[in-house]
Amino acid sequence: MSVLVGKKAPLFKAPAVLNGVEIVSDFSLQQYLGKKYVVLFFYPADFTFVCPTEIVAFQDKLAEFESRSVQVVGISTDSEHSHWKWLQTPLAEGGIKGVTYPLVADSAKTISENYDVLAGSYEYDDEGEVKFTGTPVAYRGLFLIDKAGVVRHQVVNDLPIGRSVDEALRVVDALQFHEEHGDVCPANWHKGDKALKATQKGVADYLGQHK
């Protein structure tokens, strides 16, 4: 699994559904460079089980992300038409109607490959034919991308394990606090908690308060 933290996030241009209804053919992360942070999260497939709980959970917290100048973007290897149909399906019927942030279609699986979250790989068999080994969907990868387009945080869960949206918000807060104040954020830090100076004395002072 590649570590993208500290590197430029792989850019792409792909179909997506915006505001739950509008299909576009050329969605790109470039529109946010210099303007917004991006939480880009991959999920395995539409019309499944854990995935809608995550997607709706991000929608429930969307105002909190937006207040921090963060754009949430979801992506899977399904087509834009599958995304659109799922977005028209009510929650009570297993759908995600009401979700308004972009859902990107990675039908070619190239974006998932570039972020190294594809649950499988293309290989050549003994006859020289290309075949896919594994499951052609994305793991539950999440990437926090700063305004300069650099990945500052990543986490990847296996297919059955849902993520914490609150943890994604906490990491956004930690990054933005560090950018504003220069201090670093210790274990289990939350917005409003005391941070510490990146010095031996700073660590000693912080730990001394927790005796």
How far is Cα 72 from Cα 144, in angstroms, rounded to an integer?
A: 10
> Per the residue annotation, which of 51, 75, 104, 174 is the catalytic one?
51
Q: Find the distance separating the first CA and the last CA of the chain, reported in whole Å.
A: 38
Identify the three-state secondary structure at position 100. Answer: coil
Sequence-separated (6 or more) residues with CB below 8 Å from residue 185:
174, 177, 178, 193, 195
Amino acid identity, position 92: A
Compute φ and ψ for 201, nearest 5 degrees.
-65, -40
Region of 33 (left: φ > 0; alpha: ψ -120 to 50; beta: rest) is: beta
Active site annotation includes 51: yes
Q: What distance in Å separates the CA atoms of residue 146 and residue 157, rounded to the nearest whole number?
A: 21
The residues annotated with a catalytic role in the active site are 51
